[in-house]
Amino acid sequence: MKSLELIVERIILSSRWILVVFYLGLALSLAVYAVSFGYKFMKVAGNVFLLDEGEMILAMLGLIDAALVASLIVMVMISGYENFVSRFDESEDDVSFIGKLDAGSLKIKVASSIVAISSIHLLQVFLNADQYTDGKIMWLTVMHLAFVVSAVMLGFLEQLTKKPKGDTKP
């Protein structure tokens, strides 16, 4: 019976490597998103003298939004791989920042990124308020506030569950 238990445990532990497929898929999606970003940037750059100030602000907010989404993808890829699959080789200088994101802080950073992305989208909506109904603006605002409350609650729960440094009690 013990050998069966060992086999099951090895299968379960080895299954974490299946996550690599997802992280590689995210890396490919990041490359596709970079092409999309490049297209948007070229469109803005080509119309720089034709856009008025409001349109330019909206275009820049769109680029900022894309950068935040790309950063979110990178954060999930790197910290997810580091936390659930395997540690990166820390002897290299270019990965020294990686070990600083545990699963709890990752949740906070993801929630904060979602709030930032939602904020930019809501700002774009407010700047184009004449294109939206009052009901749509209200629901977008309610959704944004739900994201904000969720992020604050995640941060609060993380603080509650975090052990003080030097505390070895379970």
pLDDT in tens, 48-71: 999 888 889 888 988 998 998 898
- The reported pLDDT for the residue numbered 149 is 93
- The reported pLDDT for the residue numbered 148 is 93
The gap from C-alpha 145 to its chain's centroid, in whole angstroms, comes to 18
Of the CA atoms within 13 Å of residue 79, those in its CB half-sphere come to 18
- The reported pLDDT for the residue numbered 164 is 65
Separation between Cα atoms, residue 61 and residue 64, nearest integer Å: 5
Q: List the structure tokens of 90.
A: 């820390």
**Residues in the chain with pLDDT values less than 50:** none
DSSP secondary structure code for residue 51 in this structure: S
* Max CA separation in the chain (angstroms): 75
The SS3 assignment for 165 reads coil
- The reported pLDDT for the residue numbered 158 is 82
pTM over 0.85: no
Per the CB < 8 A criterion, the answer to whether 85 and 24 are in contact is: no
The gap from C-alpha 166 to its chain's centroid, in whole angstroms, comes to 31
Per the CB < 8 A criterion, the answer to whether 19 and 81 are in contact is: yes
